[in-house]
Amino acid sequence: MRYLSTLLLLGYCAVAQASDCPAALDFKLRPLTGQEPVHLCEQYAGQVVLLVNVASKCGYTPQYEGLEQLYERYRARGLVVLGFPSNDFGGQEPGSEQQIREFCRLTYGVKFPMFEKTHAAQERADPLYRRLAELSGEYPRWNFHKFLLDRHGQLVASWPSAVKPEDPKVIEAIERALQEGQ
């Protein structure tokens, strides 16, 4: 009986830990050119997360450089930038995953995690972007919309495409989120 109680308690703890996953990170997605999906919660819970729908043939594409700079600058303190290629806006991400990966690495030196192509537009939004829209009250209207989650997976800010990664309000929000978790 004691053994059974221990097993039940362990099972309860596993369920309690799984339910601790923030809703904004409770998704399994496949890394760009990868085979197996990863659970965002398992990979990124406890970090400050900047999620961005990206495209290779957009007027905002040079923001890849600023996103990579943010990632390099703040990664050691707990920031991760997650890129989600999307062909929803103007057909500006038509390439294969391999083409997207090569473009990002060769043109902008992107090292931050990138994931499979995603629908971000309201009409066809994938579950991740539907959740982000529920939390923020807005869907991306174009490529390079940014959502910032704190270390608890709570949405703390959302910026439209025209707001660059190096904008002072983005930097301030990231620094504040990083400080709050320390």
Q: What is the CA radius of gyration of the chain?
A: 17
Q: Tell me how far apart the alpha carbons of residues 28 and 25 are, in angstroms, rounded to a whole number.
A: 9
Model-level pTM greater than 0.85?
yes
Query: CATH assignment of 21-180, given 3.30.565.10, 3.40.30.10, 2.60.40.10, 1.20.210.10?
Result: 3.40.30.10
Task: Please confirm, yes or no, whether 58 is among the known catalytic residues.
Answer: yes
Q: Tell me how far apart the alpha carbons of residues 137 and 5 are, in angstroms, rounded to a whole number.
A: 44
pLDDT in tens, the chain (182 residues): 444 444 334 443 333 344 589 999 999 999 999 999 999 999 999 999 999 999 999 999 999 999 999 999 999 999 999 999 999 999 999 999 999 999 999 999 999 999 999 999 999 999 999 999 999 999 999 999 999 999 999 999 999 999 999 999 999 999 999 998 66
Task: Please enumerate in sequence order all residues whose Cβ is within 8 A of that of 118, keeping only pairs 6 or more positions apart, or say none.
Answer: 29, 53, 84, 85, 86, 126, 128, 129
Catalytic residue among 13, 21, 41, 58: 58
Q: Print burial letters for 100-110: b (CB count within 10 Å at least 16), e (below 16).
A: bbebbeeebeb
